[in-house]
Structure 1
């Protein structure tokens, strides 16, 4: 039976930490398992930190869906953390069913990834020196 692709109504951007963020990984996995297109930005990049601050977002991931399905305007829906309730309202199961199961360890390999951005003004962490100092 051929699969039917339903045009995606929303542009999704996931502002994710580079590593160590389970909510980021689970959000990306939820989208991947439903074959929903999305882009990923590094929330730790200076310009993206400013965007998060403008929306008063204090935890990762920050997800922006444009346009808003609720207001039917060109505004966006912005939320943080893993919010399955919001994701299900944007992408209802009858139109975007789960088509595959992805392990958490495979998410970073399958999800789009931003380029690693290192802030030249921040000193590099020396884990060994910190361990010895403790």
Structure 2
């Protein structure tokens, strides 16, 4: 992300959440590494370009994340697609669930992002 792009994100954060600039600039940022998870990065960017929120709010209750995954169509009882189901916004966020964009991605990418996001959530 370029500096001007980050300035836009900070401005949108201020407008949407009523936070001060310093508060928005200090928010923890999870970066989807397109070199490690290229299909997931494509799905996330496509979803954001289609109007899904860039700024997501983490949930700490894993039961809600499982419910969001089901509601997005990625749960074990509903996903019939090839590969593993990726959703954006993430199921582990308040913005996830119904209406999330889904796409089949390699299982290895899903495992990589699961580990990366888990580390981020435990430190962020």
Larger helix share, 1 or 2: 2
Structure with greater contact order relative to length (CA < 8 Å, sep ≥ 6): 1
Note whether the superposition's TM-score is higher than 0.5: no
- TM-score range for the pair, normalised by the shorter chain length: under 0.3
